[in-house]
Structure 1
């Protein structure tokens, strides 16, 4: 589960847990420290009470009592009203009877009082020593700890902030934007990643431009002589030689066209231009570029509207129909289309390999003179660019190549 959360969320969670842990720790510490404080105060007053009761047993003089008051930093409460309030309203913490006498410890208005009783002695003593529990230092330590944690959190977030910027730029790059440059002044690991990424982008951009230039020049340079050669072939009187040359040049022309299509659909900078259209319009455009005899194709179309790149989708459908006709036993193919799926059906044996094998460039069942192994690769790429799925199945001695539209139709 930890693998699937972002670094930012992970850091927020860790620091949140740390804050809660610190607060709970201090709360427990305060509770335990208060108990310790009460025990210390109780022990102090028990010691004072024992000393006073021991002295009472010897009938001390006023001077001796004053000496005890001074020694233990306490004073005698002479105000009768105050004594009554302490006895009636104060919280009695301890009451103990010994062979020397009785003493009680009271808590009143956050102050501790000692009440001792023995024959002829009945004294209420107030502690002059600072006995209030001081929480200020602990609160100060808590604030200091939380402030330190917050400071570390801010520093860490600021340190990792470039990762968000880096992520945004990489996302742009993945969508085909090669005109990006990550600006960074840091020399840490993130800065190194950014610099290496900029270098990689520049290299890929140069290679892409070189590939484009090469493909365009190559196709342009080949197209002209092929056209001239086909024109010259038309002038030959030997019909057999004429047909052989025309077939060879037609094959070369087809290779150039398919390479141009592959270059377009595989280019990271290419953008498909979707537009609302009907499937019947796509079908008509496909027939125009196929130029086949209508006897080879039967169709059952329930027309529907969807958003596609008309030129690209027509190429994909053309390649599926071409494959069906080329590799079927009777050189015929059936097209069934509705708003959920498009099926191209032909008679033939089941494919020896799974569909992924044939959708790789230059993959064929066997070497053929009339194919380049790019047809299904082009189909799959175009279908995926539109967000659809390409599937294959075989039943009743028929091959089914299907484009699944499902949630993408309108």
Structure 2
């Protein structure tokens, strides 16, 4: 069991409380037994002394004398002796010496039952048994009190455990939500704090779901509405005579088309509609495809790898490397990119000036790497890269050393 679990701590508190109650009850019982034993010792000393005085001074009318003093002679001791419990067979130190001697010599035997003491006086020819009532020190409230306390502890434990059970359901629903399931519901009709948290989380899920649906609808509408005028614009540009204006319009429409494609990629990735097709990917083949997509000579991308295969979605990893290498060419100073894959770490390296802003800001959407904004970029490349790597369980980091940028990818699984 998890030692940090609330249920583990609740069980621990319950067991500790129960053990404390039982230990306290045992101590109380022992204290009661000790008090009862002390009372019995005093009763035995007093009664034995009185019985001897009656026998010595009232030898002729013993039965009347015994009864007048609250004692009762037993006519047939052998009939009840088997039902009695012998006590003080080893007399305590608090007994007078004469009483101890009589017990040791066997001239006196002491018994008891629930409510009486029995003194058996054993003589050379016959024996006599005398009984006297005792007031046992047995407070009934002790058992009732401890029984009630244990009942209360058990009731509290059951109630608290029952109240905490919805936490497991809530944790399961939160895990499903983290995996992208927007159909969950944690609504609760209870009035405790857990129900309050569950209802607040349920409201947040519904709000996020509504925002996500609105964003998706907005993105799709924008892309749909833009495609038609862009297509018409490109057709119109084709009819215009070649010139500076035509080239400017052609480039503008091409960049708008690229923006729509990148927005479509973002919508697919961030909506968690992306299903990874994990397979063995050859890095050399991916680099060749990237060079083709970017219209650059393969020699400008130098790959050093060992091993040269990973397990991932090959198409998406191609997009990752395309965006990183494209940025390296746009913002680099020597128009050359080095790729290095060693010990499960993939690095994209290029020379260039330091980043204009922090790396954390750069991976946000629509962040640009050029301080002047003169480079043609919508600032979505690194955001797409990070989103794809997140889907793979990998991470992207950056460091700048000796005039070279190192974009580092960790967490990709090598092909064994």
- Matched ranges for 1:8-407 at <5 A: 8-56=7-55, 59-64=57-62, 66-68=64-66, 71-73=69-71, 75=73, 91-94=89-92, 96-97=95-96, 104=103, 113-114=118-119, 125-127=130-132, 129=134, 142-182=146-186, 184-267=188-271, 269-280=272-283, 281-338=285-342, 340-351=344-355, 354-365=358-369, 366-368=371-373, 369-405=375-411
Q: Alignment length, in residue pairs?
A: 402
Question: Mean Cα displacement is larger for which, 380-389 or 147-156?
Answer: 147-156
Do the aligned residues in 2 keep the contact of 1:391 with 1:402 (CA within 8 Å)? yes
Indicate how the Cα distance of structure 1 residues 129 and 122 shifts in structure 2: closer, same or farther if over 3 A, else same.
same
Q: Does the Cα contact within 8 Å between 2:279 and 2:314 map onto a contact in 1?
A: no
Residues 336 and 342, structure 1, Cα contact 8 Å, conserved in 2: yes
Give the TM-score normalised by the residue count of structure 1.
0.82
Contact residue 363 and residue 374 of structure 1 kept, 8 A: yes
**Greater shift in the superposed pair: 255-264 or 289-298:** 289-298
- Secondary structure of residue in 2 paired with 1:400: strand
Distance in 2 (alpha carbons) for counterparts of 1:325 and 1:106: 111
Partners of 2:400 and 2:153 in 1: CA distance: 64
* Structure 2 Cα separation of the partners of residues 173 and 141 of structure 1: 49
Structure 1: tracts of 5 or more residues without a match: none
Greater mean deviation of Cα atoms: 153-162 or 322-331: 153-162
Give the Cα–Cα distance (whole angstroms) in 2 for the partners of residues 372 and 68 of structure 1.
116
Deviation by residue 1:41-84 (Cα, 9 ceiling, x = unmatched) = 11222222333344455x2135355443564455458769999x
Aligned-partner Cα distance in 2 for 1:109–1:183: 67
Which secondary structure state, in structure 2, belongs to the residue aligned with residue 91 of structure 1? coil
Kept in 2, the 8 Å contact 1:77–1:125? The answer is no
| Structure 1 residue 392 displacement after superposition | 1.9
CA contact (8 A) 1:272 1:309 kept: no
Of 221-230 and 302-311, more deviation after overlay is shown by 302-311
- CA drift of 1:298 comes to 2.0
8 A contact 1:279–1:303 mirrored in 2: no
**Is 2:72–2:132's contact at 8 Å kept on the other side of the alignment?**
yes
